[in-house]
Structure formats: C-alpha cells, structure tokens
Chain A
Amino acid sequence: MDDIHDLTALYIVDALDDIERRRYEGHLADCADCQAELEELGRGFAAYVAASTEPVPESVKAAVMAGIEQRPPARRRFAGLAAGLTAAAAALSVVVAVAVGGEPDLVEQIYAADDVVVLDVDASPFANTQVVYSREVGRVVFVSDQLPDPGEGRTYQLWLIDDDGPRSAGTFLPEDGTATVVLDGTAEPGLVVGLTIEPSGGSTEPTGEVLVAQPLA
C-alpha cells in the first residue's frame, strides 16, 4: 500500500485519509507521471459524477448570489465574513421552513443533531426512502422521493408501532412522489415506523398492507 504513485485514483474519489492526502499532494507537485494520471482518471471521474446530475431548484441560485453579495471577495477574509455567514444561515432556515410548512425547524434540527441516525428503508418499491431520527430532538422524519400515487380517495399513513401496537403518526400525500414528513409522536429506540395506504382522512389502526416497517435501531 505504500507506493505513493498508486494513490492517484483514491485521491480523486476522496478516499484517502488526511495524512495520505497531504503526502500525495506533496508528491504530486514533483511527479509528472502522477499529474498525467490525475488528468486521465479525472476525466473518468467527471463521467462518473455526471451520472448524478439533476436539475437544481431555481431558488438556490438567487440565495447563493445574495449570499456572495453580502460577503467580501474571496481574498479578503475578515470580520465581514461573520455577517455573511449569519445571513446565509438565515437564508437556509427559510428554505427548510418553506419545505415543511408548519414545522419550520424540526427537520433541520433532526439532521443537525449530534445523535442523528439515518436509516435507508430497504423495501421495494421504496428505493430512495429514509427514516431519520434523533433521540436528542425526540422526533422522526420520513423522507422519500419515489412514492407511487396512493390512489383516488386514499392517503399514506405513518405509524409508530410498539409492544402495545400501532399508533397513527399522521397522514400525508406525496407531491410528485416526494414527501418529507415529521411523524407525530416521540422517537424512541425499539419503535417501528410503519407506512400503509388508508382511506382519505386516515384510519385508527392500519387496514392496508404494511409497505414499510422500519425499526428505529
């Protein structure tokens, strides 16, 4: 593992630890072979990440351009930076607040919590679905972007299931297959997050097939 010439690809995909990375960067400056390989494999990496390309929401650009207006140009780094950061943070809160309507900060709080746990739900057809929770914040978020339409007169309903059985954790309808929903009820280890499709308005207990049953590990 010690031939430094072999680290180029790992450097590109950011898979070196800090020490290896610095060592490699030091070596790179003097090694024409590695520079050539960096360029060659870098083109491969460009193709690799291009596959994830996806249209960015238009609102982002305005926020970014506003953010840099409030900052000094890159070379001058001094007290003005703090003001810029505060403004940027405020702009970010707005994005999240708009996203989840009535519960402006919860999603952000959960993701920012030191003890956040992100669980990928492994249940077809629910690829790209996560259950995210923090005991510190005490809440659970259900996130998905590939939800089929539940059908006319029907709704998705989330459940928190413990030894006493399921309790409703709220109903929701996805928009374009996408949903970010903070569950009603407290995040506790041992609970299972369930998802069913129910008649509009929801049910007192699950009547539809259990589509997701994700334990809070």
Chain B
Amino acid sequence: MSGAELDALLVQVANGDRHAFNQLYDATADLVYGIARRVVVDRDLAAEIAQEVFLEVWRKATRFEQGRGSARTWIAVMAKRRAIDVVRSTQSARDRDLANPSALTEPGDPVGDVVADLDDRTRVSAALASLSDLQRQALDLAFYGGLTHREVAERLDVPLGTVKTRIRDGLGRLASAMGESDG
C-alpha cells in the first residue's frame, strides 16, 4: 500500500471509520509487530505491544497531521516508543545498551520474513545494503535504541553534527535506493 493511501486511511480512522481501521491494521500490523520484536525480542510481549499500539492508533488518529510526516512513520514511531517504554526503566535500558551496543545493530534476518512481495523485498534488501556501517549504527541507536541524537553522540563519542550527518545521509541513501515510486 502506498504512503498516500495509508495517510488517507488514517484520516478516515480519525473519523471513527472501523472499516478503514481494519485496512490500516492489515497494512501495518506486521511492521508494528516487527518493530516491537526488534526492541523487546519476546514474541508474546511484542504481540501485546502491537495490540496496545493499534488501540493507541485508534484513539489518537485525530492527532495525526499530514503535514508532519507520513502515517507509516507516525505509526512506526508509536510502536517503537511503546516498545522502548516496556524495556526501559530509565537507567536500566541505557545500561543495557551501553553494555551491548552490538545487539542493537544485529537484526537477525536483515530483511525480515515478509516484505510484501519479492520485488519489495529485493529493493529493501538492496537499499539497506547501501548503508555504511556507521550510518546503520547511528540509525539503529537512535530508532531501535530509543536514544536522542545527543545520547547517540555520547554513546559513540562523536560530535553531534556527525550523528546528524550519518542519520540524514543514511535516510537519504535509503530513499535514493528505493527510487521515487512509493513511500
């Protein structure tokens, strides 16, 4: 499903449209669950988080503003935050990350089990392969690690500007690799 279609669905959901919500769920549930799994590992907890996230999507859909990014990003960030909340007792999660940074950059199967079709899967795989290790690391710490850019910079002991550049260039490279056709 294209980014624009998802955006439109989320707007319908904000109006209380359960049919639209059903479609939105089908289009994004594997993404939400996958993000949760990446953060908490345990399948049952990830399923629980996915469930909470979709109830939150339903409840907060009215707050989605199209000018502030895509529905996909909005939902992905919600999933990540909820999962981070689960593992974080403020300090302990940071300790965990500090103790084992490699765990954050280690995605198991780099493409996941399902991306909609082979073509998409190939493109995602190729796009990710285009990232440098440093870009990947900065992205992973920021997103799946739930760190702010300041915390990422401290973690890696590099200047703030370096973190910013790695993340921006990383996303830019992924965008180019995915081409112009969808979002």
**Chain A residues near B (Cβ < 8 Å):** 1, 6-17, 25, 28-29, 35, 38-57, 59-61, 63-65, 67-68, 71, 73-75, 77, 81, 84, 88, 91-92, 95-96, 98-100, 107, 111, 113-120, 122, 127-130, 143-146, 178, 180, 217
Measured CB to CB, the nearest residue on chain B to A73 is B16
Contact partner of B142 (CB less than 8 A), chosen from A10, A54, A180, is A10
Known: A6-B164, A9-B164, A49-B35. Is A41-B172 also a contact (CB below 8 A)?
yes
B-side interface size class: 35 or more
4 smallest CB-CB distances across A and B, nearest first, come from: A73-B16, A44-B174, A44-B175, A56-B33
Known: A73-B16, A118-B92. Is A46-B107 also a contact (CB below 8 A)?
no
Q: Using Cβ atoms and an 8 Å threshold, which residues of chain B touch A117?
A: 89, 92, 95-96
Query: Hey, what's the 0/1 contact readout for B43-57 against A, CB within 8 Å counting as 1?
Result: 111011011101100
Q: In the complex, A146 Cα to B41 Cα: how many Å?
A: 10
Known: A13-B143, A15-B167. Is A113-B128 also a contact (CB below 8 A)?
no
Q: How far is the CB of A66 from chain B (nearest CB, A)?
A: 10
Q: Is B106 an interface residue (CB 8 A)?
A: yes
Determine chain B's interface SS by DSSP, over half rule. Answer: helix
Complex contact A60–B47 (CB within 8 A): yes
Q: Using Cβ atoms and an 8 Å threshold, which residues of chain B touch A119?
A: 96, 99-100
Query: Hey, what's the 0/1 contact readout for B27-46 against A, CB within 8 Å counting as 1?
Result: 00111111101100111110
**Chain B residues near A (Cβ < 8 Å):** 3, 13-16, 18, 21-22, 25, 29-35, 37-38, 41-45, 47-48, 50-52, 54-55, 58-62, 67-70, 72-73, 76-77, 80-81, 86-87, 89, 92-93, 95-96, 99-100, 102-103, 106-108, 110-115, 120, 123-125, 127-128, 139, 142-143, 147-150, 152, 160-161, 164, 167-168, 170-178, 182-183
Q: In the complex, A75 Cα to B38 Cα: how many Å?
A: 32
Can you report 26 residue pairs joining A to B where beta carbons are below 8 Å apart? Answer: A9-B171, A15-B147, A15-B148, A15-B167, A28-B67, A43-B183, A44-B170, A46-B70, A46-B183, A50-B115, A51-B111, A51-B115, A53-B30, A53-B34, A54-B34, A56-B29, A63-B51, A64-B51, A67-B54, A73-B16, A74-B59, A116-B87, A118-B92, A127-B103, A130-B41, A145-B42
